[in-house]
A and B are shown apart, each in its own frame.
Chain A
Amino acid sequence: MDGEMGILELTAVELGKKIKFGEVGVEEALEAVIERIQEREESLHCYVTLDLEGARAKARLLQKKLLNGEVSGPLAGVPFAVKDNLCTKGMRTTCGSKILKNFVPPYDATVVRNLESAGAFILGKTNLDEFGMGNTTERSFAGATRNPWDEERSAGGSSGGSAAAVASGECFAALGTDTGGSIRQPAAHCGLVGLKPTYGTVSRYGLIAYCSSMDQAGPITKDVRDCAAVMEAIASYDEKDATSLRREPLHLQSALTEGVSGLKIGIPKDYFEEKLQPEVEHAVRAAMKELEAQGAIVEEFELGLVRYAVPTYYTIACAEASSNLERYDGMKYGLREAGTGLHDTYRQTRAKGFGEEVKRRILLGTFALSEGYYEQYYLKAMKARRLIKNRFDEVFQTYDLLLGPAAPTTAPQLGSVGDDPVQAYLADVYTVPANLAGIPAMSLPCGRDAQGMPIGLQLMADRFQERTIFRAAATWEQVFGGFRQLRGSRRIDELGQLGGFGQFGGTRQHESKARWEEGMGQA
């Protein structure tokens, strides 16, 4: 390949195109990724398991298949990473937990199979908070993942390994899972695009269950086009998932050029509370103004119930987790810690196999479901969930799209999340409502703070309306620039002023630069 731009600078779709036209070989692309892994993985720790020899064999085979015309499509030949709570046949799948540290699934998750059918291949399994329970990827048996933008910071979580791998070039795109924000928040913290689809769009078969009524897998990618391509590849009806939906083809690619003219965008005032980092607010408001300039109708409104979303979410998630995690009893797979009898073996196995946060959530969930407390806690949360969903139904009668921040702050310093679990949970305030209501939501970059850390913008639409999200996301990206421009983009300080150029020293080359800066100035 010519020297204009390194292979690792390409998006997944750009790479797929170059592979298709024979400009880049599949093995060549993989070797570029492996070289990057050798440079950075030791410090970033994106992966729990890497299978480089297996990946080399797959790359060779795929190159042959491409030449014979046996595989095609935008992702054919592209190296991927997959979060380590998605089952991969023959490749260890740990969920970041000691209890599954030697578990090798005898089957593939449907999303994994779909991705491979599209001609993509998987080189490793990415790190996560144990069973997806956390938002910093520090709560993994395998150790913490670091943020490629600043290694002293968290990559976000729970899909932090996937996000860090994409952001650092240790793969071209990745799958994450999102139960309460675990795709969107790490994507925001690492300057990437992440989508949680409408509940039921992507099969949960082979996604190791945490909270079944909210778990959804989805893409973490460098840009909006990649996100559309991956989403189209992984979405499918699956009779192996009882909550899978039969949907019409998503047609996301065609949404990318439709623009936002006439779209009604609601801005929930309650997403701009005092705890929001000022730079995040400035950047998000600038994006809002830009979409308005592009023809959208923007209006602020009171969403309501936002303060109840997090306790509702945690009560339900912990209850479902306590039930889902009952299966780890040390009998058929996973760790077994011998005790004095059957029950003691269960208790010892679970005490030694689960980390502190997982135990905390199992205890709360068991409590919320137990006799005498069920009505007061679990049932109440299920009712609150209906109120929240009803409110979204109502809001989407008026608005096509909601816009706000993806997270209250940019990526926190590693180790800075204190001992109080409730404080840690509150960081999920902007993401959990979409999981409770089952609606699609995307996070995408919209600037950098004074420290140079990426800021995430969140777009939410009614169920089944992913296309509307992609219309707005692609419009914004065209103005703001993609991930390559993000590195060179200027930082925003607390007053919304633009500072000097970023640490990468790039120059922002964009037709709409002037408009963007004007937008920032107005914020």
Chain B
Amino acid sequence: MVNEKVLERVSRLAELELPKERDQVLRDFQRLVDFAGMLEGLQLGGVEPLYQVNEEQAGNAFREDLVTQDLDREEALENAPKRRGEFFEVPKTF
């Protein structure tokens, strides 16, 4: 059973502001958690989790860690909501 406290904790972790009217959100959240809880019905003892399907490929394929110029600074900054000169401008962090 999840309650408003759990929901608030999760919303804080997810950096999501909850609406003032919580009932609907809480009800949906409860439904989803119950749904995920259906897996209780499975026998999972000794089963290893499967993180990705192509396991025989020895996990991820890594390439050489080389510096390439895929994106120049100006292009990278073009979508910035706020910029100052050649930097992203962000709210005060300290």
- A residues near B, CB below 8 A? 102-104, 106-107, 199-200, 213, 239, 242-245, 307-308, 311-312, 314-315, 318, 322, 326, 329-336, 338-339, 341-343, 345-348, 350-351, 354, 359-360, 362-364, 366-368, 370, 377, 379-387, 389, 420-422, 425, 437-438, 463
Quick one: given A242-B61, A312-B39, A342-B92, are A367 and B33 in contact (CB under 8 Å)?
Answer: yes
B67 in contact (CB, < 8 A): no
B90 surroundings in chain A (CB, below 8 A):
331, 342
A370 and B13 contact, CB distance less than 8 A:
yes
Q: Is the interface of A mostly helix, strand, loop or mixed?
A: helix
Residues of chain B lying within 8 A (CB to CB) of residue A329: 15
| B86: Cβ under 8 A from any A Cβ | no
Interface residues of B, Cβ cutoff 8 Å to A? 2, 6-7, 9-11, 13-19, 25, 28-29, 31-33, 35-42, 44, 47-54, 57, 60-63, 70-71, 75-76, 78-82, 88, 90-93
Contact assessment for A334 and B81 in the assembled complex, using a CB-CB cutoff below 8 Å: yes
Q: Give the distance in Å from the alpha carbon of A363 to the alpha carbon of B12 in the complex.
A: 10
- Let me know if A383 and B47 touch, CB within 8 A: yes
Q: How far is the CA of A213 from the CA of B53 in the complex (A)?
A: 8
Contact: A382 with B10, CB < 8 Å? Answer: no
B16, B28, B41, B80 — most chain A CB neighbours (10 Å): B16
A362 to B80, CA, bound (A): 24
Cβ-defined contact, A384 with B92, below 8 A: no
Instruction: List 17 contacting pairs A-B, 8 Å CB cutoff, sorted by A.
Output: A102-B79, A239-B61, A243-B60, A308-B41, A308-B42, A314-B36, A318-B32, A335-B81, A342-B91, A363-B14, A364-B36, A367-B33, A379-B49, A383-B50, A384-B44, A387-B44, A421-B28
Partner pick for B79 among A242, A333, A341, A362, CB 8 A cutoff: A333
Check A311–B38 contact: CB distance below 8 A.
yes
Which residues of A are found within 8 Å of B75, using beta-carbon distances?
106
Q: Which of A242, A311, A347, A437 contacts B35 (CB 8 A)?
A: A311
Q: Is the CB of A311 within 8 A of B36?
A: yes
Which of A106, A338, A364 makes the CB contact (< 8 A) with B71? A106
- Complex Cα gap A377–B53 (Å): 19
With A334-B81, A366-B13 in contact, is A239–B63 under 8 Å at CB? yes
B27: min CB distance to chain A, Å: 9
Q: How far is the CA of A308 from the CA of B43 in the complex (A)?
A: 12
Give, as a whole number of angstroms, the nearest-CB distance from B3 to chain A: 12
Q: Give CA–CA (A315, B93) in the complex, Å.
A: 33
Residues of chain B within 8 A of A243, CB atoms compared: 52, 54, 57, 60-61
The listed residue (B10, B54, B80) touching A333 by CB distance below 8 A is B80
Q: Besides A342-B90, A350-B17, 9 other CB < 8 A contacts?
A: A245-B57, A308-B41, A341-B91, A367-B6, A377-B36, A382-B49, A382-B50, A421-B32, A425-B35
- Closest Cβ–Cβ distance, residue A215 to chain B (whole Å): 12
Q: Is the CB of B60 within 8 A of A339?
A: no
Contact A106 B81 (CB under 8 A): no
In angstroms, how far is the closest chain B Cβ from the Cβ of A418? 12
Query: Which residues of B sit under 8 angstroms from A421, Cβ to Cβ?
Result: 28, 31-32
Q: Report the 8 A-B pairs with minimum CB-CB distance, sorted nearest first.
A: A438-B53, A382-B49, A333-B79, A336-B81, A351-B17, A386-B50, A242-B60, A106-B75
